């Protein structure tokens, strides 16, 4: 639209690089505001907050106790010592804790957002739809897993005589974040199915139970289970392979270095499915 002088009435769209660089910071500030608001609401009920953390910590403690009792009867598990298995278990809690901090809304996405129509509000806001879903609430219990996992790794590594090099220290957070991306990718892919089919029963719970297999050395399982955990549900890369970089043999170190690639690939494929699904979403009309 032009006026008589030929000047544009409507302002030109800002497509500068400066604006593009500012956009991630703006989105990050919005996500930080989500987190701050969530903390305020949770801390309003401090007793419930403490009870939830305690219950989660107790559950993890029971699992550790079972592992300790198991190795009280045997000295090794298919060539893996108690300290090695305990280190793998401890590492497995790091990516799981990171994922549980931000992935809690993926479990009930179909019921809460699709069936109840709350995804309409998500699409009307100027923030990435997946970011809104994932960061609208947080699983604070994930902090328990991060703390306990770190403590178990330190304890097991000390008993095993493990010494970290500078490269190991740099790779540890890279492996943990990459493994968390694998968790996010798998469950995001399952969540995205809700755009095509109403997943009232939930695909996530049975798959979540498979995570338990990833806390033990992959070599102790049947070849079919190994194939499942490597190529179908790539949970072999959320604990065993990256942890084996530190306490395993040379044959596992190359596979461990593939963890970031597997994490990026898994999450990218899931995000593509999410994007296509969200485009075909139709409101409930209610």
pLDDT computed for residue 243 by the predictor: 95
DSSP sequence for 133-167: HHHSS--TTHHHHHHHHHHHHHHHHHHHT----HH
pLDDT computed for residue 61 by the predictor: 74
Pairwise CA distance, residues 278 & 271, whole Å: 10
| pLDDT by residue, tens only, the chain of 286 residues | 444 444 444 444 445 666 656 666 766 676 676 666 666 666 666 666 677 667 767 777 777 777 677 666 666 677 888 889 889 989 999 999 999 988 888 888 888 888 888 898 888 888 889 988 988 878 877 888 898 889 889 989 999 999 899 999 999 999 999 999 999 999 999 999 888 887 655 677 788 888 888 888 999 999 999 999 999 999 999 999 999 999 977 888 889 999 999 999 999 999 999 999 998 888 765 5
pLDDT computed for residue 144 by the predictor: 82
pLDDT computed for residue 42 by the predictor: 60
| pTM for this entry | 0.80
pLDDT computed for residue 273 by the predictor: 95
Burial-class residue 103 by CB neighbours within 10 Å (0-12, 13-18, 19+).
buried
SS3 7: coil
pLDDT computed for residue 203 by the predictor: 74
DSSP sequence for 62-105: HHHHHHHHHHHH-SEETTEEHHHHHHHHHHHHHHHHHHHHH-HH
Q: Which DSSP category does 2 fall into?
A: B
pLDDT computed for residue 3 by the predictor: 47
DSSP-H helix ranges across the chain: 17-43, 46-73, 82-102, 104-107, 109, 119-124, 129-135, 142-160, 166-192, 204-210, 223-227, 240-247, 250-256, 259-279
The dihedral sign for the CA sequence 174, 180, 181, 183: positive
The dihedral sign for the CA sequence 257, 262, 265, 270: negative
């Amino acid at each position: 639209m032009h006026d008589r002088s030929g000047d544009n009435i409507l302002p030109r769209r800002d497509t500068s690089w400066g604006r593009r660089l500012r956009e991630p910071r703006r989105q990050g500030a919005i996500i930080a505001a989500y987190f701050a608001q969530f903390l305020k609401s949770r801390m309003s009920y401090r007793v419930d907050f403490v009870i939830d953390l305690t219950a989660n910590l107790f559950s993890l403690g029971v699992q550790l106790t079972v592992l300790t009792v198991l190795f009280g009867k045997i000295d090794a598990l298919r060539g893996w010592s108690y300290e090695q298995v305990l280190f793998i278990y401890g590492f497995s809690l790091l990516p799981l804790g990171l994922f549980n901090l931000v992935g809690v809304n993926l479990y009930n996405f179909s019921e809460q957002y699709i069936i109840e129509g709350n995804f309409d509000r998500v699409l009307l806001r100027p923030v990435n739809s997946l970011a809104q879903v994932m960061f609208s609430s947080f699983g604070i219990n994930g902090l328990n897993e991060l703390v306990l996992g770190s403590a178990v790794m330190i304890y097991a590594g000390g008993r095993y005589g493990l010494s970290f090099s500078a490269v190991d220290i740099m790779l540890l957070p890279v492996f943990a974040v990459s493994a968390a991306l694998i968790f996010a990718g798998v469950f995001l892919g399952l969540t995205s199915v809700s755009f095509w089919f109403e997943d009232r029963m939930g695909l996530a719970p049975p798959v979540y139970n498979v995570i338990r297999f990833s806390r033990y050395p992959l070599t102790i399982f049947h070849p079919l289970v190994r194939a499942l955990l490597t190529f179908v549900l790539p949970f072999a890369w959320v604990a065993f392979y990256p942890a084996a970089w530190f306490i395993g043999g040379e044959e596992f170190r190359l596979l461990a270095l593939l963890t970031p690639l597997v994490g990026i690939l898994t999450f990218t494929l899931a995000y593509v499915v999410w994007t296509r699904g969200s485009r075909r979403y139709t409101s409930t009309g209610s």
